[in-house]
Structure 1
């Protein structure tokens, strides 16, 4: 079975390489005998033109507000970025939870809340500037950070190794840690 998967993967990769080597020639072909230029050329060549600053700020706003829909959209955007697609040219880099641990006792993991928090900070600072970021966006992004961490703390474990009393204690410690991280970014972030 593993050999079949390897062979199939190789065949698919060969097909993708073959298709992509033909695509630039097809995209560069003139339409109706004339060269295609401007925004149409970008679409014809398979390249998506960069979103405007206003569009980027609007999309960033949708990815950095409270609520499950925003979190789901952020995860979808991260997934697309990991596949090599980044139409809004966002900065997806992260330093995790900086110098604080991402993984805390009880099986809780703040990796993604910290990543989303970094995402909001880095992109707003580059798009609107540091002072406008601090006055108009920082508190909201910090509040979303707390929401995301609290969601981690409120997660239910399918095969929980802890007793109900142990889980209750671990959850309380998680919520306390989330509040400390939040207080730190409010004061220092």
Structure 2
């Protein structure tokens, strides 16, 4: 949280014959004709014509087998050939099968961002689960998940864990800015969620006394006031 830093002084061969590749790299053996004379390697002339004809048939069979394999491909592969189709966004697979950002519109991204940065416990849980998916390689909306926690101040004031609250606050700021939508209203939306997250932590962390919880809420209010005043920096 950059804003808090300010406050705290802040072609293959197979044994026995030649092969060809189908559409998906499938290896298809080519039929070879063994002639009874020395012109077996000469594809022209009277004796060469049957060989050329049969070779062409074998190659056609190889291509056909590739087409059949393509038509029987799983739905995920078939869908990838229609990336430009209107309607639901399509996910493109990276080299290692790692999904990358789908073609969501700016409006769709903003809507999803709003859902992930709300004040409620449901929104906080949604954000947490989505972050886990990102850690496992899924980032459908292309959000920026980088964070430096509660930079400039402690992540664990009076023994309460505020790192996650600070990380979600960072997430909101970074992505509204990335989408050029860091308006006063959206900043306020993210700041209020930050305060709600910290307050829930103060009230719900296990093993704390009422005095400790009260002290935690005071610190949470200071953190919140700081981002309200200086969070735009």
In the alignment, structure 2 segments of 5+ residues that lack a partner are 1-23, 27-68, 73-79
Change (3 A) 1:177 1:51: same
8 Å Cα contact 1:30/1:36 also seen in 2: no
State the SS of the aligned residue for 2:204.
Answer: coil
Between the aligned partners of 2:148 and 2:210, the Cα distance in structure 1 is 30
The answer to whether structure 1 residue 136 and structure 2 residue 178 are counterparts is no
Between the aligned partners of 1:84 and 1:43, the Cα distance in structure 2 is 13
Bigger proportion of residues as helix = 1
- Alpha-carbon deviations, 1:96-144, whole Å to 9, x = none? 0120100122x310000000000000000110x2xx4132200111000
Change (3 A) 1:119 1:156: closer
Length-normalised TM-score, structure 2: 0.58
Aligned-residue CA RMSD (Å): 2.8
Give the match for residue 35 of structure 2.
Answer: none
> Which structure's CA Rg is the greater one?
2
Instruction: Pick one of 55, 60, 70 that aligns with 2:123.
Output: 70
The answer to whether structure 1 residue 100 and structure 2 residue 100 are counterparts is no
- Alpha-carbon deviations, 1:140-184, whole Å to 9, x = none? 110000000000000141xx3x6xxxx122111100000000000
Query: Could you list the runs of 4 or more consecutive aligned residues of structure 1 that deviate by over 4 angstroms after TM superposition?
Result: 29-32, 42-48
In the alignment, structure 1 segments of 5+ residues that lack a partner are 1-23
Length-normalised TM-score, structure 1: 0.71
Alignment of structure 1 residues 8-157 onto 2, 5 Å: 30-31=70-71, 36=81, 38-39=83-84, 49-105=102-158, 107-127=159-179, 129=180, 132-157=181-206
8 Å Cα contact 2:160/2:205 also seen in 1: no
Number of residue equivalences? 151
State the SS of the aligned residue for 1:154.
Answer: helix
Between the aligned partners of 2:161 and 2:189, the Cα distance in structure 1 is 22
8 Å Cα contact 1:50/1:89 also seen in 2: no
Give the match for residue 227 of structure 2.
Answer: 185
